[in-house]
Amino acid sequence: MALVLSLTACGDEGIVGMGEDQTLMTVVLEQPGDGVTEWRGDAGDFEDHPYQPEGLRIDAGYPVFEGADAFAEELAAQVDQEVRDYRGASREPVNLSIDWQVVAAGNGVLGVRLVRTEEDFQGLRQAYGTYWYDVSTGHTAYSTELLADDAALEELDGIVREEFADDEQVDVRGLHPVMRTYDSMGFNTDGDLVVEFDDGHLSPTVEGHPPSSEPGRKVAVVPAEEAAPLLSDLGERAREAALAEEPVLAVEEPATEPETTPEPAPEVPGVVEAGDPELDCSEDRCVALTFDDGPNETTPALLDLLAEEEVSATFFLNGHPTLTRPGVLRRAYAEGHEIGSHNHLHEHMPKKFDEKELVHQVAAVSAMVRRQTGHTVELFRPPFGDSSPEVLAEIGRQGMAEILWSQDSEDWTGLSRDEIVESVVEQAEPGAVVLLHDTMAPTLEAVPEIIERLREDGYAFATVSQVYDGPEPGESYPPEGLTSPVGS
């Protein structure tokens, strides 16, 4: 029979709470054996990352199943990404361990739960991710692929919101149907769907500080009969595998036909494409509204307005606000806005940071965004528009394009609401990338009229990537550069 293991701790020091707790996933294996070996590594096994803090201890592992090499490759890639993002996103990182459990094995499905235990300046916390392997196709799936589609994920998000509605340790405004929020799901011994959230992932905002991890792991259990209509074929088979009396841990490699075109990867519920997919900026009169320095306490009001007007924008985020308001970041991503980096600290990069510091400054926000949403940031805007060949080279080395602006609203100079409106509308031209700040009250007051008047003039609102038709990493946009760098 499958074991049931407490998910509040993992590893040699933390196997506690054995019992029939319905908030626990089934666990069929927690150490090598029965056709399963283990890969385990330390900091020296992750030396190709752009940012490698000195003295950081890493102990990471994942299972390797006989006959499932493709699964091992994907788990290795996921562990590598977790280490990379921990290095980049954490304040003064100290220690990271990644342990594993097999939560399903049978019916053509393998399920693995990875548990990150990490320590940094903010303290000690745990985070969870569950991955699913389809033996017949060799496809490794994220947890949201246990669900049929985005509509099923949205319905699950509503169920979870109701379950947490009266929980004072949870801010349901931080719940959004994105892949990285729902990155750990599995089944208990009754076949119920267990949805677990990282320590602090749903904690209320604490002004000036990251949300507290003290509430620990939060869990929503969806009864089997209520979850059943939401499941994909993989989800149904995963549920049966979690309940199997005899786990099947050694599998056969999927058969491949050399001349057959591989099947395209399935769409992953909770992965959001930014912008209006029907918009073609080579034909339409496009303008991109961009907002720097958030997320801020005023950003939700701006998101309300953009949602009401059905406008997509691009947000360039700084590190501290992103750590402080991760739920706002998740909302912006979930609602189809484009997310870019505005550096970790809002400083003049060429003057403030040496070569080693520059690497972390560029890496930080990208890592924070990926941890909260799953999205890989492709756009970087240096504070004040202040760049250099060295800054641009580092941005490109980390896979991003440098985005400046073609139109400065000058809202940062203390203009009034009406002056900001006139500044934006009078300078508007097709393909403009407009610099604004969602941290400034007059700007938020100006946005409704900006949208109204630009629409009257025939403009459509696009993301930066749509305006520039997919900016290339290591390149700077607009190509002609800035005519007047400012205090952004």
Residue 67 has pLDDT above 50, yes or no: yes
- % of residues, the chain, pLDDT over 90: 87
pLDDT tens-place string over residues 305-335: 999 999 999 999 999 999 999 999 999 999 9
Helices 299-309 and 326-334, interaxial angle, to 10°?
Answer: 10
Length of the chain, please? 488
Q: In this structure, what are the phi and psi dihedrals at residue 135, rounded to the nearest 5 degrees?
A: -60, -35
Asked if pLDDT for residue 262 goes beyond 80, the answer is no
How many angstroms separate the Cα of 274 from the Cα of each of 271, 278, 303, 313, 407?
Answer: 10, 12, 14, 9, 22
In degrees and rounded to multiples of 5, residue 261 shows phi and psi of: -70, 130
Cα three-residue angle 162-168-169, rounded to 5 degrees = 100
CB neighbour class for 304 (10 Å; exposed up to 12, middle 13-18, buried from 19): exposed
382 phi, psi to nearest 5 deg: -70, 140
Q: Is the pLDDT of residue 487 over 60?
A: no
DSSP, res 373: H
- Domains of the chain from N-terminus onward: 3-243 (no CATH), 286-477 (3.20.20.370)
Cα atoms found within 13 Å of the Cα of residue 37, Cβ hemisphere only: 7
**pLDDT tens for each residue of 399-425:** 999 999 999 999 999 999 999 999 999
| Range from 10-24, 108-122, 439-453 carrying the lowest mean pLDDT | 10-24
Q: Provide the pLDDT confidence category of residue 258 given band limits of 50, 70 and 90.
A: low
Nearest to 42 by CA among 98, 92, 91: 98
**Packing angle of the helix pair 299-309, 441-456 (nearest 10 deg):** 10
Give me the long-range contacts of 78-83 (CB less than 8 A, separation at least 24): 78/114, 78/129, 78/131, 79/114, 80/46, 81/370, 82/114, 82/116, 82/129, 83/46, 83/49, 83/58
Residue 421: Cβ within 10 Å count: 22
What pTM value is reported for the model? 0.93
Question: Given a cut of 70, is residue 270 above it in pLDDT?
Answer: yes
What is the rounded distance in angstroms from the CA atom of residue 268 to the CA atom of residue 280?
A: 24
> What does the pLDDT read at residue 3?
35
- Distance from C-alpha of 256 to C-alpha of 155, rounded to nearest angstrom: 36
Sign of CA dihedral 180, 290, 359, 201: negative
pLDDT of residue 259: 54
In contact, 77 and 40? CB cutoff 8 Å: no
Task: Assess whether pLDDT exceeds 50 at residue 366.
Answer: yes
pLDDT digit string (tens) for 437-471?
A: 999 999 999 999 999 999 999 999 999 999 999 99
Phi, psi (rounded to 5 degrees) for 223: -55, 145
Task: Kindly tell me if the per-residue pLDDT of 22 is higher than 90.
Answer: no
Mean pLDDT of the chain: 92
What is the rounded distance in angstroms from the CA atom of residue 98 to the CA atom of residue 292? 35
Q: Are 316 and 395 in contact (CB under 8 A)?
A: no
109-120 sheet: strands from edge to edge: 36-42, 57-65, 95-106, 109-120, 123-134, 139-141
257-270 average pLDDT score? 73
Cα distance between residue 146 and residue 139, in whole Å:
13
Quote the pLDDT of residue 256: 63
Residue of 127, 87, 105 lying closest to 366 (CA atoms): 87
State yes or no: pLDDT of 168 exceeds 70: yes
State both tokens at 271: 């992965």
**Nearest by Cα to 317 from 268, 379, 247:** 379
- pLDDT score, position 480: 84
Active site positions, annotated: 292, 437
Joined together, the tokens standing for residue 473 give: 């990493």
**6 pLDDT exceeds 90?**
no
For residue 80, is pLDDT > 50? yes
141 in helix, strand or coil? strand
Condensed to tens digits (0 to 9), the pLDDT of residues 175-226 reads 999 999 999 999 999 999 999 999 999 999 988 889 999 999 999 999 999 9
CA–CA distance, 132 with 105 (Å, rounded to integer): 10
Percent of the chain with pLDDT over 70: 93
